[in-house]
Amino acid sequence: MILIDVVNEIKKAESVILLTHVAPDGDAIGSVTGMYKVLKKMGKDVSAFIDDQLPEMYSFVPNVDKISRPFDKKADLVLIFDCADEERLGSSKEFLDKGPITVNIDHHISNTLYAKLNYVDTNAAATAEIAYQLVKLLGIDFDEEIATSFYTAILTDTGGFTYESTTSMTHHIAGDLINNGARFREVAEKVFNSLKFNKAKLLGKALNSLTLYKDGLVSYMEILKKDFEETGTDLSHLENIVSYGRNIEGVEVAVLLVEKEGEVKVSLRSKERVDVNKIASTFGGGGHVRASGCTIEGTIEEAKEKILKEVFKELEK
């Protein structure tokens, strides 16, 4: 199997470059930092590059400080983790054409198999599950740092073991990482129990506007320009707020409107049956069946009327 070929390439290489996608998430950062430590333990010359800022929430991950922006560097082997296509590498993409062996290790079904060796396992809930198997095949002992990195990757990519992608293998690996010292409590605390003060204030404003329509099937929230001003927040603080509307008992469709200059940003979520991608498409937006977004020109009152009309129409189908 191809994972053995990857193992052999790693064993042969003296120098290795680790890459992952831009806008790195927990799986990207956890896989790269874990493998960084593994390869260091093997005595390799290792570099880890991400062509993007690292989210502050992952600053606790062991060896995250070893990741840098890409710079000109030669290596015998390039290992790419969690990156479905070469465009998502950003400027790291140039390492694909520089001669050495390139290996693409991923779990996304959309992977374009862009490297020389490609190992894509869509049954893995996180790329770190594959990295875990790789470390086992390499015969390298886990330590607290490697275990914490991989655990972070798995916890975040499975939404705390709750996404459909979670399997008994996911739990098996998580258990083994705990036995190897993964600081799982700290990871959960940082990933799930960390809230910024001004984000909490913004959430309060959004919840104040929470209203139900259609016998509780539709929840509506709005965030006005003055809410951002009063709480010292911006569009980067919106993450997850629409989920509060979605999670209300009995709600099928959640609508969040965000007032911008001359236009309104719309976030839509649904629980079980309404295709909110279709609703967003009506306004030139898109996304998924259960999560989508669009932008509507005009005032917030105008946008509210337009979007609720479409939501109600879709609900009645």
| Residues contributing to the site for its own copies (CB under 8 A) | 159-164, 166-172, 174-176, 178-179, 184-185, 188-189, 192-197, 200-201, 203-208, 210, 212, 216, 219, 243-244, 246-250
- What is the three-class DSSP state of 175? helix
The residue among 116 and 290 lying less far from its own copies, judged by its C-beta, is 290
**Least separation in angstroms between CB 266 and its own copies:** 20
> H or E element: which one contains 293?
strand 291-297
Identify which of residues 88 and 205 has a Cβ nearer to its own copies in the complex: 205
For the CB of residue 254, give the shortest distance to its own copies in the complex, in Å: 11
Q: Exposure string (b/e) for 56-75, b if CB count within 10 Å is 16 or more? A: eebebbbbbeebeebeeeeb
- Which residues are paired to 67 by β-bridges? 48
Nearer to its own copies, 22 or 191 (CB): 191
**Phi, psi at 5, each rounded to 5°:** -60, -40
CA angle 78, 3, 31 (to 5 degrees): 55
Closer to its own copies at the Cβ: 47 or 166? 166
DSSP state of 65: G
Minimum gap (Å) between residue 6 Cβ and its own copies:
25
How far apart are alpha carbons 110 and 262 in whole angstroms?
Answer: 36
Rank residues 164 and 261 by Cβ distance to its own copies and give the closer one: 164
Angstrom distances, CA of residue 251 to CA of 33, 210, 225, 271: 40, 12, 26, 7
How far apart are CB 214 and its own copies at their closest, in Å? 13
Q: Provide the minimum distance between the beta carbon of 269 and its own copies in the complex, in angstroms, as a whole number.
A: 11
